[in-house]
């Protein structure tokens, strides 16, 4: 079973991952694609990621998870078009950690060096459940993190979130419907997962702060 949340359309590389691409032949139904639009923010992403992953875990009941933490979804990326913060990105990692499944956590894309470093340092601390300071310690790469010299930074205030609640809920409904096409995993003990997820979202929250 694979699951991907990504920008899709308008010639955006690699041009695959549409909602109706769910696998072929014996693998049909085992590919979950959630196409997203420009400007995806923390609130919308969390309310997209959690209910989909929750349903997959309930239905497919995996024995382990491979989580790729691509950082090109962060705000201020040179190629990406999303508007996530390090903290918002990390909430999804923390949710996967909370499932209690064996997990292999990997890096991924990311074209703003300082923000990729921020992201993966923070998410390592999340996985280890060891909070770290927002104030960065002095190091050989200190100048890379000017002018804030901090771990966290705000999203872009000028990037509109095109992922409306109506769009997200429409795609979410279809994704959950697609999952019904596969048989539930037999003979596996059912896992307890959080049940307070999947409610319709009320819209994005705009952060008025400036960029880093």
What's the confidence (pLDDT) of residue 183?
Answer: 79
Segment 150-174 shows an average pLDDT of 96
pLDDT range class, residue 197, cuts 50, 70, 90: very low
Domain that holds residue 34: 2-179
Q: Among 124, 131, 65, 126, which Cα is nearest to 99's? A: 65
Structure confidence by residue, pLDDT tens digits, 19-45: 888 888 988 889 999 999 999 999 999
Handedness of CA 72, 77, 82, 86 (dihedral sign): positive
pLDDT range class, residue 88, cuts 50, 70, 90: very high
Structure confidence by residue, pLDDT tens digits, 142-156: 999 999 999 999 999
Tally of domains in the chain: 1
Residue 210 lies in a domain: no
Residue 190 lies in a domain: no
Residue 12 lies in a domain: yes
Q: What is the C-alpha to C-alpha distance for residues 25 and 183, in angstroms, rounded to an integer?
A: 15
Residue given tokens 């959080």 in the structure block: 194
Residue 188 lies in a domain: no
Residue 89 lies in a domain: yes
pLDDT at 162 over 50: yes
Q: How far apart, in Å, are the Cα atoms of 112 and each of 74, 77, 180?
A: 9, 5, 39
Structure confidence by residue, pLDDT tens digits, 115-129: 999 999 999 999 999
- Domain containing residue 97: CATH number: 3.40.800.20
What's the confidence (pLDDT) of residue 173?
Answer: 95
Residue 204 lies in a domain: no
Q: How far apart, in Å, are the Cα atoms of 89 and each of 118, 120, 153?
A: 11, 10, 12
What's the confidence (pLDDT) of residue 14?
Answer: 67
Residue given tokens 């923010």 in the structure block: 41
> What is the CB-side half-sphere exposure of residue 74 using CA atoms within 13 A?
30
Segment 69-93 shows an average pLDDT of 96
Residue 117 lies in a domain: yes
* Alpha helices, H only, the chain: 42-60, 86-98, 113-128, 165-179
Residue 14 lies in a domain: yes
């Amino acid at each position: 079973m694979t699951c991907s949340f990504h920008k899709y359309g308008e010639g955006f590389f690699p041009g695959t991952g549409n909602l109706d691409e769910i696998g072929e032949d014996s693998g049909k139904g085992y590919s979950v694609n959630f196409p997203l639009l420009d400007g995806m923010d923390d609130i919308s992403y969390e309310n997209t990621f959690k209910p989909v992953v929750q349903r997959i875990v309930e239905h497919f009941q995996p024995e382990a998870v491979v989580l790729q933490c691509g950082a090109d979804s962060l705000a201020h990326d040179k190629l990406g078009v999303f508007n996530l913060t390090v903290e918002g990105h990390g909430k999804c990692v923390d949710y996967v950690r909370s499932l209690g499944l064996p997990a292999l956590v990997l890096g991924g894309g990311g074209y703003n060096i300082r923000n990729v470093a921020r992201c993966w340092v923070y998410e390592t601390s999340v996985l280890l459940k060891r909070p770290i300071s927002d104030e960065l310690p002095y190091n050989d790469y200190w100048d890379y993190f000017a002018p804030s010299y901090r771990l966290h930074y705000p999203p872009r205030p000028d990037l509109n979130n095109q992922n409306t609640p109506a769009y997200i809920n429409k795609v979410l409904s279809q994704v959950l419907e697609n999952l019904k096409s596969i048989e539930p995993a037999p003979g596996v003990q059912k896992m307890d997962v959080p049940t307070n997820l999947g409610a319709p979202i009320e819209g994005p929250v705009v952060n008025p702060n400036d960029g880093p």
